[in-house]
Amino acid sequence: MIKRYSFDDVKRWKRDGAVVLKNLFTLEEIKTVHDDIAVVFQGKKGSTPIIKKHSGPPETVAEQFLNFENIPFDCSSALNLIGVHQQLISLAREALGTKYVRLYQSQAWAKFAGETDFEQSFHCDYGNHTLTVPSNDVTKNSITFLMYFSDVTEMHGPTHYVTRSDSNKISKSSEIFLNHSDNKKLQKLLSKYEKSTAGPAGTVFAYGIDVFHRATNITLNRGYRFAVTSCFKKAGNDSIGYTAWPYHQNKPWNIIFENASPEQLNCFGVPMPGDSFWTDDALKLASLRYPNWNMKEYERKAKK
Ligand SMILES: [Fe+2]
């Protein structure tokens, strides 16, 4: 595989906890995922933006996540597998310093003007990715990819962020965030370093769970933003979690099994070909569960 990201991108993610990447996907991949998201959210359209007057720091509200759903979906394999795209797996491995990564979240996320005011305050995501706090060792945390599949200008609600290197310049920023002692002041200090992830469809924002960021509002008439999230952790890292894939057993997993490589399936926790899990019984039963799954490689390696 030819990498579509650089050594410097990985270095910056490790140092700053945040990097914006523009060339990971082909135009064809971007278009197909865009069209899949339109199918998933049934052709919804944006209307007149809702722009609220915020007297203090804006709050995160449930309406900002109206169209935020787990894979798999009943659409093509493009959206179902974009979260485990080979470029993302490769980048996640380098970022987390391991050969073995697990996908623990992948959701389609559409925002439409007129649904709500999407403006948020700066926050870190670790609250619903771990029960404790982020480690100083970034490889013990995780990497989130927020990927845009529609063009995102400042009027389409791009995520804004502050690099770890910049937020570290603010005394006790992590402590203030947790104890809410002076949130208003923290927001003001962070905003001095605020950067945008705006970019054309295909733009990917890779960030850590300890990185301050916030959603911004869609202010364009009939504007919309199509995105997909994808979060990876090191295999065996029990301190990080979000989605238990088998809990969503009634979703169309066959689309994933019938189209993914063993390496992509392994990101969901499916043992690799050659793993001792694949006994004759396991192979037989799995082929009954997913009749159209091509298990040749699993069978071949089991016979060795
Ligand atoms: Fe967030």
Q: Is residue 260 assigned to a domain?
A: no
pLDDT of 108 strictly over 90: yes
Q: Is residue 105 assigned to a domain?
A: yes
Q: How far is the CA of 160 from the centre of ligand 1 (A)?
A: 10
Q: Is residue 261 assigned to a domain?
A: no
Q: How far is the CA of 213 from the centre of ligand 1 (A)?
A: 6
Q: Is residue 259 assigned to a domain?
A: no
pLDDT of 148 strictly over 80: yes
Q: How far is the CA of 126 from the centre of ligand 1 (A)?
A: 9
The dihedral formed by the CA atoms of 150, 154, 159 and 161, expressed in degrees to the nearest 10: 140
- Which domain covers residue 37, as residue numbers? 7-245
Q: How far is the CA of 275 from the centre of ligand 1 (A)?
A: 36
For residue 233, the SS3 value is: strand
Q: How far is the CA of 6 from the centre of ligand 1 (A)?
A: 25
Q: How far is the CA of 278 from the centre of ligand 1 (A)?
A: 39
Q: What's the pLDDT at 54? A: 84
- Looking at every residue in the chain, the average pLDDT score rounds to 96
E strand intervals along the chain? 18-21, 67-70, 101-112, 142-148, 160-161, 195-196, 204-207, 213-214, 224-234
Q: How far is the CA of 233 from the centre of ligand 1 (A)?
A: 17
Q: How far is the CA of 27 from the centre of ligand 1 (A)?
A: 27
Q: How far is the CA of 129 from the centre of ligand 1 (A)?
A: 11
pLDDT one-digit tens code per residue, 185-230: 999 999 999 999 999 999 999 999 999 999 999 999 999 999 999 9
pLDDT one-digit tens code per residue, 26-50: 999 999 999 999 999 998 999 999 9
Backbone φ, ψ for residue 280 (5° rounding): -55, -40
Domain count, the chain: 1
Q: Is residue 291 assigned to a domain?
A: no
Q: How far is the CA of 273 from the centre of ligand 1 (A)?
A: 36
Q: Is residue 65 assigned to a domain?
A: yes
Q: Which of 80, 17, 7, 115 has its CA nearest to residue 264?
A: 80
Range in 93-102, 103-112, 180-189 the model is least confident about:
180-189
Q: How far is the CA of 122 from the centre of ligand 1 (A)?
A: 8
CATH number, position 15: 2.60.120.620
Q: Is residue 125 assigned to a domain?
A: yes
Q: How far is the CA of 123 from the centre of ligand 1 (A)?
A: 6
Residue 188 CA, distance from chain mean position: 27
Q: Is residue 278 assigned to a domain?
A: no
pLDDT one-digit tens code per residue, 255-281: 999 999 999 999 999 999 999 999 999
Q: How far is the CA of 204 from the centre of ligand 1 (A)?
A: 15
Q: How far is the CA of 162 from the centre of ligand 1 (A)?
A: 12
Between 302 and 55, name the one with better pLDDT: 302
Q: Mean of the pLDDT values across residues 230-240? A: 98
Q: Which of 184, 169, 67, 76 has its CA nearest to residue 115?
A: 67
Task: Give the model's confidence band at 304: pLDDT under 50 very low, under 70 low, under 90 confident, else very high.
Answer: low
Q: How far is the CA of 283 from the centre of ligand 1 (A)?
A: 40
pLDDT one-digit tens code per residue, 165-188: 999 999 999 999 998 888 999 999
pLDDT one-digit tens code per residue, 61-92: 888 898 999 999 999 999 999 999 999 999 99
Tokens, residue 105: 């979240």
What contacts 212, CB < 8 A, 6 or more positions away? Answer: 122, 123, 124, 161, 162, 167, 173, 177, 190
Q: How far is the CA of 35 from the centre of ligand 1 (A)?
A: 25
Q: How far is the CA of 174 from the centre of ligand 1 (A)?
A: 15
